[in-house]
Structures are given as structure tokens and as C-alpha cells.
Amino acid sequence: MLTALILLPTAVATLLLCLPRTTPRRLILALWTATTAVELALTMTVWAGYQPDGAMQYETHVEWIPSAGVSYHIGIDGLSLPLMAMTCVLFLACAVYALRETRRVREFAALFLFLQTTCLGLFAALDLILFFLFFDLSIVAMYFIIAGWGHTAAHRAALKFFLYTFLGSLALLLGFIGLYLAADPHTFDIVELTEENPLSGRSLYGALVLLAIGVGLAVKTPTIPFHTWLPPAHTEAPTIGSVVLAGVLLKMGTYGFLRIAMPVLPGAWREYALVFVVVGVVSVLYGALVAMAQTDFKRMIAYTSVNHMGYILLAIGAAAAVDASAQSRQLAMSGAVFQMVSHGLLTGALFLLSGVLYERGRTYEMTRYSGVADRAPVFAALTGVAAFASLGLPGFSGFIAEFQILAGSLGPQPVATGLALLGILITAALLLRAMQQVFLGPTRLPALAPGAAKAFPDLRPHESAAIVPLLALGTVLGLLPRFVLDVVEPTSRTLLELLAR
Amino acid sequence: MNEMNENPLDILPEVMLAASAVIGLLLGAWLPRHRQWMVGALAVAACAAGIAAAAVAAAGPVTTAFGESFTVDPVTGASRIIILAGTLLVLGLAIGPLKANPREGEFYVLIQLATLGTLMLAGAQDLLLLAAAYLLASVPAYTLAGFRKDSAGTEAALKYYVMGALLGVVMLGGITVLLAAGRATMYPMLRTELPAASVGLVMVGTVALVAGVLFKIGGVPAHFWVPDAVQGSTAPVAAFLTTVPKIGALAALYRLVAVPLADTSIPWPDLVAVIAAASMTLGNLAAFFQQDVTRLLAYSTISQVGYLLMPIAVVGATDLDQRALLFYLAGYTITNIGAFAVVCAVPHARNIEDYRGLARERPVLTASLVVCLLGLVGTPPTAVFLGKVQVFSAAFDGGYAWLTVLAAVNTVASLFYYLRWIAPTVSQRSHRSAFTGPRTATGVACGAAAASIALGVLANPVLELLTTPLAP
């Protein structure tokens, strides 16, 4: 079941590549959208059959390369399931948004479908090498998406993205090898490693492995000071590339912390939790401040991602304080997972909206726009909703996530949490300022290439169809978060128990 | 020692290749020009039969041949199969461009002789046989490098020859010194004798001996011939020179450190580790801004040598070394020849920029190129990735954590120049130049790319076979 869910997109991608070159564009796009819809339906089926008790379910464990300690081991728990569902929603939104795409559609669709496989596979992987496989292949697919369909400086940005994240992945690989050699018998299986806790009592070794894994995941997340690849990659990527990059690929980093670093290296994690707290808070504040300084709409959103990922790091760092009350740590953990889902949906929507803006005006420079709300009220309204949701207004998913994180972290890390609160203030300010700049005031639009200068049409049906569900889901999660939290909480309890060993 | 074991059946792959080379030479003298391909067909048959014979021999017990100077153990068995498979791929690359070449027959014969020398290198258990194998592997290769007879080819052959002759003499000197120190040339006897001999003497002999082996491997500091020989010779020859002799020479080096040098007090692990570090780093740095794709690949092979030397540095310190070396060798052979096959498939594209727009016109070939180049980087699920995991694990386990970290950093650096080559293929092309070339080369490229992934995914049986320990 899970294997089919993971491999179906790649199978369809192969099929697409085998189709003759004369295949109509619409057929390819329809196939793509249909596949992502089927994926979402499959995930929903999986969710329906999931028992929220914190244990691994839908496990498949097949020998792959036993002599190297590698197996094909997948399964899901309350940590991966919400992320997989979010992934499927985002990919469906991307496919819908791309319905009007005209440039080399066949390859584009195939790459996105392949990327979906890597993302779903990563969230289901229970073997370090399998995890690494999907991690690396997602980088490869994203490289080609940025380089092949990005804006003018895409090649440089794609190269930078690839080099940075690949460096991260190799640090990760070193950490994995460290774990592999420490386990007896040698294995890459996450579940076995978690049970065995091979580095308990070996503090230097544990610290080095945590350093390698931490750096690897921090590059992907991205946190200060490894975030420099993110803004150019986001700015140059095609719209839906940015959506997947921010919505899904960044979560691979934070997910890795929760899935690998925390349960396999509990001792080292507890010892160095403060580092994660500090990095988290610095990311929160620095991301917000730099976002404030941006005049490029898309770049600004990219930097708010650094800020939002910082909260997650703060929460998982704070959760390591074993002497704090179990309830607040639990709250922080659930908040971290909830933030991953919420950020995926809301940032996805924001990037799609920025794509709409670019589509109309051919620039992301906010100073070139003014009073757009007059011409495109629906677009303005949706952007407003997305911005408010993103800055954490009550009633939206962002609020639940940030509230949980901050409330949970306040007990164990009061100073850091106090500082992180400022981050919310700054993001609120910068998002409101951006809204004001672009949507209010006298109407002024960038001068365009001849022919398209006048109009700034409102959202087209396929754009609305991609954006509205994301925001609706963000709102639903904000009003009725229980159905996700019910799944997340048992698993975060299990994780905290593992951490307390 | 007295009863000479000269059963030629033990070295059937070598015998068949030698016979086929000789018959090919005679046949080539009689056949008309348009029938010279039969020599090639004979070579292909000899290689294929050799692989089969090597597989049969590998399944059998460990034996030695010719008075224990040649050993047939798992390392020999695996090396034989890899060497012959690599030669087969190179022959596949050569078929198209060589058709009706006036010296077509000679080409096949020279390739076979060089391969024969490489096979002997892999199995040699005696310093004198090692020297003979070195010469047999080198001399035909010098000729091959200059096969095109143009100025670039001549320069390539000359540089290759001068380096080879010089380091060959140094190597012979080293063998003499080791003979003086250990009073024998057989590895098992040297193993018992060398620890008792003067350290200085053994040190000097080892360094001189390793210099010759390093020339065949193409590692720093004996790497100067690689870029010029690769750029100057034809692409199939370049594929051969950068792949096949390496396999035999690395197996020989592995055997040297595992048997005669194992118990000596000279710091060979550090020596090999430093060479490995220098090879990967210098190769990468030099490859960074190359425009010519063959030159880029040449430097890439130098850096790959660095990774290949890592397991040799930890021989004896871990039980992962042999498997890591042989698996990486197999992956590297397929992937590297695959990359050269792409170069052969579009012979008019010499520079990176000439590959602009390849993806639109030749999507399958581009996919093969991407798989091979990312394979050389070590992206899963290709064979080299698993090889890298093995090699890194071995070095880490053997106490060379710094080398592992350096190798990881180098891997990232290498990504930069491989991507410089991949990036133009997906961009829009600016000028028109035909992406045409021999079909067989395209076939080899696709086959190698597919094999690289297949070997990565279905690695388990191979790994299990490679784990059998080496004969003492």
C-alpha cells in the first residue's frame, strides 16, 4: 500500500516520458493532475486506516542489501502521516496551478511526479540509506526544475542550491556511517538503531555524529548560518518549484531531526539541546529582520521561511529539557510537527500568489506595484488571508502551531522564547507593510512588454483552484486542529520517551 | 617451490586472451581491410569467454599458478571479471569509429595485450611477474595513446611513454632493493622476511615500487600523463587508459600492502592515505575550470583514484576494505566508461558548451550522461554511491576519519564540475551542430548507465561474493 503510494508518481512519470512527442499538452497535464489527485486519495485512505497510538504502521520490511546493512524499510507514524498528507495536497495544488504551463510540459510533469515520489519516500523511510536515497534524489529533481524552468539567473541559483544541499547530504552520510559502524551488528535500520541507542555513553563519538547529522539537516532546513542557498533558489525557481521547495523540501530537514537525530542520539541531543535553541532563536530573529529588508516579494517570503523553521528548532531544542514539565515539552513537540504542516500549506499559498503577481507584472519588486487591490480584489483578499495566516493570527493554523511552540518552550527556555516572540511581531510588521505597499494606495503597475501593459486580471479559475484549498485547509486546521493533533500527539509522546532514555 | 605448478587451466582467461591476441595478429595480416572486424569479434569472444572462465575459477578454491607467482583468489577473480567487462565495453566503443581503419586489426590486438598485462598485474604474487605485467600493460598502451598519429596523439603517446618508462625503471630499482632486503621476490616469503630487514632499505624499495604502480593507477604524484594522454588519444582509447589498467594496478597495490608489507614497520597506511588525499584533492581542483570534456574526465579519474585508494590505506585495520575496493572498482569501471561512451557518441562536441541543448535532441543519451556523471559523484542509487558508502565506512572504521571527511568535502567539490557539464545540456541551444555519432557508443552509454543503477540496486549478491577473504 505504502510502496504503491510512493512509487505511483514515478511510474506515471516514466509513462509520460514514453509517450510520443506529439502527445497533446492537455493530456499530459490532465494525467499529472489526475495522478496527484489519486495520490491524495490514497493518502486519505491510509489516514483513515491509521490507528493513532504512536506506533509504526503500514510497515514493509524487505531485505535489500543485507550484507551492507541496508533494507527497504518503510512505515508511517503520527510524525510522517501529516507530512505525507500535506505533501500530497501541495503537489495537487502545484499540478492544478500548472494547468496553463506551456514550456516543455512533458518533462516538467515527469520531474514533478518524480519529486513527489522522493518526498513521500523520504517521509516514509525507516532506513538511513533509503532516507538518504530519497534525500539526494529530491535534490537532483529540484536542480533540474530550477535550472530548466527557472528565471534568468536560474543556473547559478540551481548550482548553488545543489552544492549546498549536497554538502549537507554528505555531512549527513558521514553521520549515518558513524551510526552504522557504532551499531552491533552494523545496520542502517532506523528502528533498530532507535531501540539499540548505540552511542549511549560514548559522548565524544555521539557529539561528532550529531554534529554531522545536525549540519546536514540544518543545511536543508535551512537555519542560520546555512541558509544562504535559499533566497536565490527561491527567487529563481519557477513558482511551483518554490512551493515544493519551501513547502516540502525544507521539512525534510526538520523531519530528519525528529525522526533520526532525536530518537537515535538521545544522549547527545539532550547535551547539546541548547545549541538548537540558540540556532532556532537566531534563525527566527535574523530571518524576520532580513525579510523585513527585502523589496522582492518572493525573496521576502523565502526569508520568512527561515524565520518559521527557526520556531521548529526552538521547539525541538526546548523539548529536550528533561527536567521541565512533561506537558510543556509535549506541547512544544506537537507544535513543531503542526508548524511543519501549517507552514507547508501557508507558504505554498503565498508562493503561488507571488507567482500570480509575477505572471501579471513580470517582476517581484514590491515598489513597482501599488493599489493592486483595485484591479484584482480576489487576489488581494487571498493574499491578505495568506499573510494573516502566516503571521499567526488566531483562527488560522499558524496560530495554533506558534502558540503551542511558544507556550511549550516558555517553561524550559524562557529567555529564548521571549526573544522568539519578537519574531512574530516583526513578521506581522513586514507582511502588513508588504500588503500595504502592493495592494493599497493609487493604482500603479509595472510597465510591461508591449501588448500586455494595461490589464492586471484577477485570479483565473485554475489559480484559484490551486490557492483557495490551501488557505481553506489552513483555516480548517486553525479552527479544528484536533484531527491532526490526535495523530501527532501519541507519536510525540513516544519521541519524548525515547529522548528521556 | 620445487614442484612447479604450471597448470595453464588455472589461468584460462589470460591464456585465452593471449591466444586471441596472437591469432588476431596473424589473422589481421591476411584479412582484407573490410574484414578486419573479425579480429575485433575474436577479441570480444575472448573477453566474454574469459569472463565465464574467471567466474568458474572464482567459484573454485584458491589456487596459485606458475610456481606460486600468480594467485587465483577472490581479488584476482573479481578483478578479472571487472577488467574483461571493461575491455568489452571499450571494444564496443571502438567498433564504430574504427570501421575500415587501415590499422583496425592492430588496435584490437593492442587492446588485448594491454588487457592481458592488466590481468597479470591483478594476480601477480611475485615482484618479477609484477614488473613483467607492468611492461606488458604499458607498452601496448603507449602505442594506443598515439594511435591517431596526429600531433596531439604523438604528444599524448610521448608523455605517456616518458613517464611510464621513467617510473618503470624506478619500479625495477625498487624491486631490486626489496630483493636485496627480503632475499626473495615471492610475496609470502617477503612477508616473513621483510619485517626483519633494514627499515630504510624496505622503505626505499617500497616507495620506488609504489611509484611504478601509481603510474598505472594514475594517482598523484604520478598523474602528469593522464590529462594529456586522455585529451590527445581517441575517446575509446581514453576510456580504456583511464579505467582498465587502474583495476589491475589497484588490485596489485592491495595485494602488496596486504601480503609482503603487512607486517613491516614502515608506515604504508599513512603513505597511501596521503596519496589518496592528494589525488582526490588535486584532481578535483584541476578539473574545476576545464572546458574540454575529455580533459575534465581525465582529472575526474585522478580524483576517483583518491577514493579508490582509501580502502587500501586501511587494509588489515578493518574487515570492510576488500569488499569496498572491489565494489567501488566495479562501479567506477562501468560509470567511467559510460561517461566516455557519451563523449564517443557525440564526437563533434569537444567542449562543455558544445553540449548545449543535448537534452532536447538526444534525451536518452542525456539521461545516460546525467546518470553516469551523478554516478561518479556518488548519488544514490547508482553503484558508485554504494561503493562510496563502503569506502567511507572502511576508512572510518580503519581509523582514518579525517580522510573520510576530506573525501566527503571532495565529493561536493567534484559535484561542481560535473554539474558544469550537465547544466548546458538542459538549456536552450544557441547554435546548431549535429549531435550525431556512432550508434554503438550510444548503446554502450545507455547500457553502462543502466548497469550502474542495476549494480547499485541489486548489490547484495555482488557484495556477498566480494566478502570472501584474500588468500594469505
Q: For residue A283, what pLDDT is reported?
A: 93
Element at B154 (helix H, strand E): helix B151-182
Quick one: which of A386, A383, A390, A388 has its CA closest to A438? A383
The three cell numbers of residue B308 are: 579508490
In the block, which residue shows the cell 596523439? B153
- Residue A11: CB partners within 8 Å, gap ≥ 6? none
* Helix A105-124 × helix A2-18 angle, to 10°: 160
B250-264 burial, b at 16+ Cβ within 10 Å, e below that, comes to bbbbbbbbbbbbbeb
Among the partner-chain residues B377, B460, B467, the one whose CB lies closest to the CB of A64 is: B460
C-alpha–C-alpha distance, residues B314 and B325, integer Å? 11
Shortest distance between the Cα of B372 and any Cα of chain A, in A, equals 13
Report d(CA A58, CA B271) in Å as an integer.
Answer: 50
Q: In which residue are the cell numbers 561503493 written? A: B387
| CB-CB contact of A310 with A427 (8 Å) | no
Least CB–CB distance from A67: residue in B363, B411, B460: B460
Amino acid (one-letter) located at A328: S
pLDDT category, B430, cuts 50, 70, 90?
A: low
Q: How far is CA B43 from each of CA A433, B9, B87, B111, B328, rounded to the nearest angstrom?
A: 75, 19, 9, 9, 26
- Which residues, other chains included, contact B151 with Cβ-Cβ below 8 Å and sequence gap of 6+? none
Q: What is the pLDDT of residue A281?
A: 94
Cα nearest neighbour of A108 on chain B: B426
- For residues B268 and B257, give the distance between their C-alpha atoms in angstroms, rounded to a whole number: 7
pLDDT score recorded for residue B2: 45
Sign of CA dihedral B336, B251, B117, B7: negative
Q: Give the Cα separation of A383 and A400 in Å (integer).
A: 20
Q: Do A147 and B423 touch (CB under 8 A)?
A: yes
User: Using one digit for the tens of pLDDT, what is the confidence trace for B89-128?
Assistant: 999 998 878 877 788 888 999 999 999 999 999 999 999 9
Whether ipTM tops 0.95, in short, is no
- Element housing A74 (H / E): strand A70-76
- Is beta strand B63-65 parallel, antiparallel or unpaired with respect to A70-76? unpaired
* Pick among A67, A138, A211 to test the B interface (most B CBs inside 10 A): A67
Question: With an 8 Å Cβ cutoff, are A181 and B393 in contact?
Answer: yes
> Do residues B237 and B144 lie in contact, with contact meaning Cβ atoms separated by under 8 Å?
yes
Rounded to 5 degrees, what are φ and ψ at B406? Answer: -60, -40
Mean pLDDT over B364-387 rounds to 91
Please check whether residue A138 is in contact with residue A122, taking contact to mean a CB–CB distance below 8 angstroms: yes
Going by pLDDT thresholds of 50, 70 and 90, the confidence category of residue B168 is very high
pLDDT at position A454: 61
Burial-class residue B405 by CB neighbours within 10 Å (0-12, 13-18, 19+). middle
CA distance A233 to A227: 11
State whether A177 and B404 contact (CB < 8 Å): yes
Q: Please say if the pLDDT value at position B318 is more than 50.
A: yes
Q: Which chain B positions have a beta carbon within 8 Å of A150's beta carbon?
A: none
Residues forming a β-bridge with B65: B70
Query: Which distant-in-sequence residues (6+ apart) come within 8 Å of B343 by Cβ?
Result: B235, B238, B293, B294, B297, B349
| pTM to 2 decimal places | 0.91
Per-residue pLDDT, A448: 62
User: Residues of B near A (CB-CB distance < 8 A)?
Assistant: 363, 374, 377, 379-381, 386, 389-390, 392-393, 396-397, 404-405, 408-409, 411-412, 415-416, 419, 423, 426-427, 459-460, 463-464, 467
User: Is the C-alpha dihedral spanning A285, A289, A292, A297 positive or negative?
Assistant: negative
Candidates A302, A219, A276, A281; CA nearest to A253 is A219
A181 to B408: CB separation less than 8 angstroms, yes or no: no
Q: Pick from A68, A162, A177: which is nearest to B386 by CB?
A: A68
Name the residue of chain A whose CA is nearest to B320's CA: A68
Suggest the residue from B426, B427, B428, B458 to mutate for an interface test with chain A (most A CBs closer than 10 A). Answer: B426
Q: What is the mean pLDDT of residues B300-307?
A: 94
Residue of A nearest to B463 (CA): A67
- In B340-406, the DSSP E strands lie at none
Residues 6 or more apart whose Cβ sits within 8 Å of residue B466: B74, B78, B322, B323, B326, B327
Chain B residues in contact with A166 by the CB 8 A cut-off are 377, 411-412, 415
pLDDT in the model for residue B169: 95
* pLDDT score at B1: 43
Residue B116 · residue B178 · CB < 8 Å: no
Q: Which residues of A touch B (CB under 8 A)?
A: 17, 63-68, 129, 132-133, 136-137, 140, 143-144, 147-148, 155, 158-159, 162-163, 166-167, 170-171, 173-174, 177-178, 180-181
Is residue A47 a contact partner of residue A73, using CB atoms and an 8 Å limit? no
Cross-strand bridge partners of residue A57: A76
Cis status, amide bond into B13, omega within 30 of 0: no
Cβ contacts of B423 on chain A, cutoff 8 Å: 147, 155, 158-159
| Band of pLDDT at residue B316, cut at 50, 70 and 90 | confident
| B332 band by pLDDT with thresholds 50, 70 and 90 | very high
In this structure, are strands A70-76 and A57-65 parallel, antiparallel, or unpaired? antiparallel
Between A148 and B429, name the one with better pLDDT: A148
Residues on chain B touching A67 (C-beta within 8 angstroms): 460, 463-464, 467
pLDDT of residue B18: 93
Query: In A, which residues are within 8 Å of B363 by CB distance?
Result: 17
Out of A136, A148, A158, the one facing B379 most closely (by C-beta) is A136
CA distance A223 to chain B (A): 20
B355-379 b/e with 16+ CB inside 10 Å = b?
A: bbbbbbebeebbbbbbbbbbbbbbb
Q: Which residues of chain A does B379 touch, with a Cβ-Cβ cutoff of 8 Å?
A: 136-137, 140
From the list B380, B396, B463, the residue facing A67 with the nearest CB is B463
Across the interface, do A143 and B392 touch by the CB < 8 Å criterion? no
Give the best residue of B402, B404, B412, B421 to mutate against chain A (max A CB count within 10 A): B412
Measuring CA to CA, which residue among A188, A189, A183 is closest to residue A202? A183
Name every chain B residue with its beta carbon within 8 A of the beta carbon of A68. Answer: 386, 389-390, 459-460, 463
CB < 8 Å to B410, chain A: none
**B419: chain A residues, CB-CB within 8 Å:** 143, 159, 162-163
CA distance A69 to chain B (A): 10
Residue of A166, A208, A229 for testing the chain B interface, max B β-carbons within 10 Å = A166
Instruction: Quote the CA–CA distance of B253 and B383 in Å, as a whole number.
Output: 23
Half-sphere exposure of B344 (CA within 13 A, CB side): 34
Could you read off the pLDDT of A331-350 as tens digits, one per residue?
999 999 999 999 999 999 99
pLDDT for the residue A100: 85
Q: With pLDDT > 70 as the criterion, what percentage of chain B qualifies? A: 96
**Total residue length of chain A:** 501
Kindly tell me the sign of the dihedral angle through the C-alpha atoms of B395, B401, B402, B408: positive
What are the chain B neighbours of A137 within 8 Å (beta carbons)? Answer: 379-380
HEC per residue, A123-139: HHECEHHHHHHHHHHHH
Residue B87 has pLDDT above 90, yes or no: yes
**pLDDT < 70 stretches in chain A:** 447-454
Residue B415 has its nearest CB partner, among A163, A173, A174, at A163
Instruction: Give how far B374 is from chain A: nearest CA, Å.
Output: 9
Nearest CA in chain B to A17: B363
Question: Is the Cβ–Cβ distance between B65 and B21 less than 8 Å?
Answer: no
Rounded to the nearest angstrom, the minimum Cα separation between A170 and chain B is 6
CA distance A317 to A269: 8
- Looking at beta carbons, which residues of chain B come within 8 Å of A132? 380
Residue B47 near residue B89 (C-beta atoms within 8 A): no
Verify whether the Cβ–Cβ distance B374 to A173 is below 8 Å. no
Question: What is the number of CB-based contacts under 8 A between chain A and chain B?
Answer: 77
Q: Cα distance from A466 to chain B (closest Cα, Å)? A: 28
Instruction: Tell me: pLDDT of B470 over 60.
Output: no
Q: B460 and A65 in contact by Cβ < 8 A? A: yes
Cα dihedral sign, A457-A460-A466-A469: positive
Instruction: State which residue of chain B sits closest to A157, comparing Cα positions.
Output: B423
